[in-house]
Structure 1
Amino acid sequence: MTERRERLWLNREGTVLVVVDVQERLAPAMPPEVLERVVKGIRTLIDAAALLKLPVITTEQYPAGIGQTIAALAPGEQGELVEKTSFSCCGEPAFLAALARHDARRVLLVGMEAHVCVFQTLLDLRAHHYDVHLVRDAICSRRKSDYRAALHLADAAGATLTTVEIALFQLLRHSRAPEFKAVSALIKQR
């Protein structure tokens, strides 16, 4: 495969799902219909990650002030939680250590806000030579203009812009995958 094509493909091996800062006091600031869509998309990805045996790293920005991850997305058994104070997840050594433990090369990136913590994490991940797949229907900002700017800048930074369904079908690769029916059912429930 060419380098560009290889970067666009998601493979199970070396891929980690990162859920950025979907927290109790931040989530209510998002437009309600957008928040509902984003939470459903992230929940679908977390559930599929469990089926596909993908690691999940969840971050919380200053949880003493912003609260914990919302209950609907609380890290499960396969998840790791990293608390941080820097906007970029990469500013927290425990986050970089978690990526290294999972031998990650690709990051499936979701969360909020798209133009702050998600975008700064994306920039730093690219600087650390990770392929970043930004899931555009599983990120949000308070304002649509900030969301759109984050997508534009993410593309310019070399991230792959994707969706929940594109990502999941890439990870499955074909309908013969043992997890196909279960993952398809998750997609239909969205």
Structure 2
Amino acid sequence: MLNKHDTGLVVVDVQGKLAHLVGDGHQVIQRIATLIEGAKALGLPIVWLEQNPTKLGVTVPELALLLAPLSPIAKFTFNGCANEAFCNAVEQANVHNWLVCGVEAHICVYQTALGLKERGFNVEVVVDSIASRVEASKDLAITKLATKGVGLTNVEMCLYELVQDCRAPEFKTILNLIK
């Protein structure tokens, strides 16, 4: 079970034109925005990745605005865990559970989630907040991740799991985000 004291969020490569070319792109961006706002309300650490931003573009403005004042970690490897700055940020967050969202499901999200799992973290991919250009690629990523022991969740499920109690001070915020 996730808890807000031991969980963080990784946002993977929601950048440039690609973020809008993936299946259900606009809705996925909206769900990632909800997830970021929920993570912030719950006080979760957030780590933000960008794949080769000079070539692919920067994070879409609607998410970059929510993620500020954080700075993205630029990477060139598909697996964020092959990047020293990312690994340092993950370690400094001092949590054991990571939620992962972003683009593309079958490449950078898949490899980063497995990289975190291989480093001993509990990982859950937020399946309604990941996307690929081809739906079958997203489906394949989800299937392979599940067979390798990565948990699956969605925005509403993980946020309510993290808030745990309707009397919690963050509950109203989470409720309003989900509505």
Q: TM-score, normalised by structure 1?
A: 0.90
User: Which runs of structure 2 are paired with 1:98-113 in the superposition (5 Å)?
Assistant: 98-113=89-104
Partner residue in 1 for 2:174:
183
Please give the alpha-carbon distance, in whole angstroms, between the structure 2 residues aligned to 1:50 and 1:125.
21
Q: Quote the Cα distance in structure 2 between the aligned partners of 1:119 and 1:10.
A: 20
**In the alignment, which of 135, 160, 173 is matched to residue 164 of structure 2?**
173
In the TM superposition, residue 14 of structure 1 has moved relative to its aligned partner by 2.2
Partner of 1:17: 9
Query: Do 2:98 and 2:122's aligned partners in 1 also have CA atoms closer than 8 Å?
Result: yes
SS at match of 2:126: strand
Alignment match, 1:60: 50
Instruction: Map 1:4-153 to 2 at 5 A.
Output: 9-31=1-23, 34-74=24-64, 75-77=67-69, 79-153=70-144
Give the secondary structure class of the aligned counterpart of 2:72. Answer: strand
Change (3 A) 1:23 1:46: same
**Partner amino acid for 1:173?**
Q
- How many percent identity over aligned positions? 38
AA matched with 1:142:
R
Distance 1:48 1:162 in 2: 14
Cα deviation, residue 56, structure 1: 1.0
Contact 1:29 1:142 survives alignment (8 Å): yes
Other structure's SS at 1:132 match: strand
Contact 1:14 1:102 (C-alpha < 8 Å) held by counterparts: no
- After TM superposition, the runs of 4+ consecutive aligned structure 1 residues lying more than 2 A away are none
How many residue pairs are counted as aligned between the two chains?
177
> 2-side partners of 1:136 and 1:80: how far apart?
24
SS at match of 2:25: helix
Q: Distance in 1 between matches of 2:37 and 2:104?
A: 22
Distance 2:71 2:37 in 1: 15
Work out whether residues 135 and 162 of structure 1, in 8 Å CA contact, stay in contact via their aligned partners in 2: yes
Runs of 5+ unmatched residues, structure 2: none
Contact 2:9 2:39 in 1 (8 A): yes
Q: What is the CA RMSD across the aligned residues, in angstroms?
A: 1.0
CA contact (8 A) 2:105 2:130 kept: yes
Hey, what's the Cα distance between the residues in 1 that align with 2:134 and 2:55? 22
Q: Secondary structure at the match of 1:83?
A: strand
